[in-house]
Amino acid sequence: MNQELFNLISEARQGKSEAFTKIVKLYKDIVFRQAYAMLHDWMEAEDVTQEAFLKAYKSLSGLNSPYAFASWMSRIVCHLCYNHIHKKNKKDKLFADEGLESGVAAGRDPHDIVENRDLRLNIQAAMGTLSPDHRVVIILRDVQGFSYDEIAKILEIPVGTVKSRIHAARMDLRSKLARQEGGT
Amino acid sequence: MNKHPEKLISSYIDNELTGTARTELEEHLKSCSKCRELAEDLSSLKERINNFYSIFEAPETIEQRIMSAMMSTKSRFATAGLFSFVLLCLLFLVPLGTVIIKPLSAAFKILLHLFTVGQVVITADPNTTGRLILSAAVLMLATAWSLKYLLAMEEVN
């Protein structure tokens, strides 16, 4: 964590909303990405992102150390996503194309986009078949880049469980992708 | 080491396998094409997942949405705070009022009775008013004289 972020978090904890605005700027993509990967729904991911930052703003005083902000924020997103999944008993579905295209980072090569469309259909479909418990560990590790220890703390589960879930989820994805790609 | 230590491969590609376990697995991968293939597949899968999700960015409007929601939460907090304050005041003042108002009312009644008694005493004796006026005049004269005496003493000093 750099000093600037540390200062921003400390200032936001003292109630300075300008500091929190800067934190939103820095973390919005990370938070949105996690929510989107969990829910596979553009609008719900937006709602979760908003809820997560509001929740963080209200309970920032409960953050033990500014250094733990990223994992603390990630835990909030996980809880919110689980709530959304639980409440709606949501079944994963394919992304709506318009929503997807509007979110893709601007300035990318059109070939990349076409290639990514195929890639995402496979990855997305395979990720959609995973249970939320398996999906979340893959997202925290492969998308967010947290260590096994950090994931264990975020999800409040033993490190051994993190290891076994990550491996089981990857094996599952591997076989599903092989079937998909073998069939096309 | 197991014949095919598949379960360790995920930890290995995530750099979460250390020490002897890592060295042993690396040795095993050199000689086992099945595990090597699995390690390559899982490593490629990890990269594909990362590449896939990394292209997504939050919509530009999200920042504004968050800030607006924050402001409305703040004003809701302020309203709720004011409401709670009024409610608390009512909750505390009502029982407090019953405690304070009773003795106040009793004291007021006593004063009222004293006033009535005084009135009765004054009206009962027709000379009372004259006596009171005389006493007041004497008191005023005595006050004026003592004031004059004090001023004279000040001048002497």
Judged by DSSP in three states, B56 sits in strand
Q: Do A147 and B16 touch (CB under 8 A)?
A: yes
Average pLDDT, chain A: 83
> What percentage of chain B has pLDDT greater than the value 70?
92
Q: Which ipTM was obtained for this model?
A: 0.79
Nearest residue on chain A to B37, alpha-carbon basis: A174
| Mean pLDDT calculated for residue range B51-73 | 89
Residues in chain A closer than 8 A to B6 (CB atoms): 167, 171
The pLDDT of residue B157: 59
Return the DSSP state at B59: -
> What percentage of chain A has pLDDT greater than the value 90?
53
Please report how the helices B33-54 and A110-129 are oriented relative to each other, as an axis angle in degrees rounded to 10.
110
- Residue to mutate among A50, A76, A136, with most B CBs inside 10 A, is A50
Residues in chain A closer than 8 A to B11 (CB atoms): 148, 163, 167
pTM metric for this prediction: 0.68
The CA–CA distances, whole Å, from B1 to B4, B7, B21, B22, B26 equal 8, 12, 9, 11, 11
* Tens-place pLDDT, residues A59-89: 888 787 878 889 999 999 999 999 998 887 6
Among the partner-chain residues B10, B48, B57, the one whose CB lies closest to the CB of A167 is: B10
The pLDDT of residue A108: 45
Q: Do B55 and A116 touch (CB under 8 A)?
A: yes
- Residue to mutate among A114, A115, A142, A176, with most B CBs inside 10 A, is A142
Q: Is B118 exposed, middle or buried (0-12, 13-18, 19+ CB in 10 A)?
A: exposed
The pLDDT of residue A1: 58
* Tens-place pLDDT, residues A91-102: 544 444 444 544
